[in-house]
């Protein structure tokens, strides 16, 4: 599998799953556009990709700002001449608290980042994909989209909304050469899991760190979804998907 010729934008690319995906996609030959609120982090990651022989562009962008994402598209086209894919990875877990003790501003901000941020990115890039009759959208989902967990009301609601957004895109692009996935990475050893463990709320916080999956496995799966070989897997799936794991070369569960 190679991704030569692809230009893929990754939101929330400064660390964790986003960073791992950037490194894996670049290794597979894709040019990557790395976006996050932390400009220094994405520019340093872009340099890391280039030092390994890859092509990268680091851009500061807050997904809650529609114009910021318009600027990402504009600069991507200016720098690489095209764009072939979008990975909606930007997301937050907090506030982790029981609903009657949540901060309303923080709760709304989670919806703004996880759901409206993904909408903003899709709204910016989808017309480009439609015009060129080619495109890829991967929305990083979660088991929390389908299974409620105490203390995660904002996160669960935002990911459930993202799942419906994914299905809406699939429905509205039917018959076009635009592949859309909602991909659940499982419980992954990232900074977010550190926040979850520290909270002590719900069963996920009790999972020992040594039982968490590596971000590199997620990145390999996402890279495969970026290839045409994965066209039969469009829709909702997660890291436990047996066929996906077999194709990627991950150990069977």
Assess whether the previous peptide bond of 95 is cis (omega < 30° from 0). Answer: yes
Tokens representing residue 181 in the block: 């996935």
CA atoms within 13 A on the CB side of 45: 31
List, in order, residues 6 or more apart from 55 with CB less than 8 Å away. Answer: 26, 31, 32, 49, 80
CA pseudo-torsion sign 181, 240, 162, 27: negative
Tokens representing residue 143 in the block: 């088991």
Quote the DSSP letter at residue 84: -
β-bridge partners, 188: 213
């400009």: which residue's tokens?
Answer: 39
CA separation for the pair 49, 43 (Å, rounded): 10
How buried is residue 221: exposed, middle or buried, by Cβ count under 10 Å (0-12/13-18/19+)?
buried
Tokens representing residue 146 in the block: 């389908």
Give the three-class secondary structure for 193. Answer: helix
**What Rg, from alpha-carbon coordinates, does the chain have?**
17
Active-site residue identified among 66, 119, 155, 224: 155
β-bridge partners, 36: 60
119 annotated active-site: no
Catalytic residues: 155
């Amino acid at each position: 599998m190679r991704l030569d010729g692809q230009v893929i934008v990754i939101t929330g690319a400064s660390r964790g799953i986003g960073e791992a995906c950037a490194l894996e996609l670049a290794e597979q030959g894709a040019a990557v556009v790395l976006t996050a609120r932390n400009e220094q982090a994405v520019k340093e990651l872009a340099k890391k990709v280039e030092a390994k022989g890859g092509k990268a562009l680091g851009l500061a962008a807050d997904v809650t700002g529609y114009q910021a994402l318009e600027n990402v598209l504009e600069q991507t086209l200016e720098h690489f001449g095209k764009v072939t894919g979008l990975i909606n990875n930007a997301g937050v877990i907090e506030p982790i608290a029981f609903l009657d003790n949540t901060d309303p501003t923080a709760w709304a901000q989670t919806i703004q980042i996880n759901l409206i941020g993904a909408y903003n990115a899709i709204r910016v890039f989808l017309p480009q994909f439609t015009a060129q009759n080619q495109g890829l959208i991967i929305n990083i989902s979660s088991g929390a989209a389908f299974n409620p967990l105490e203390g995660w009301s904002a996160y669960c609601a935002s990911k459930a909304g993202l799942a419906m957004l994914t299905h809406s895109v699939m429905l509205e692009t039917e018959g076009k050469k635009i592949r859309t996935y909602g991909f659940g990475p499982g419980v992954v050893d990232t900074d977010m899991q550190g926040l979850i463990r520290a909270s002590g709320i719900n069963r996920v916080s009790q999972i020992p760190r040594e039982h968490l999956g590596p971000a590199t496995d997620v990145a390999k799966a996402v890279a495969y979804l970026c290839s045409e070989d994965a066209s039969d897997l469009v829709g909702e799936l997660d890291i436990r998907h047996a066929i996906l794991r077999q194709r990627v070369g991950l150990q069977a569960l």
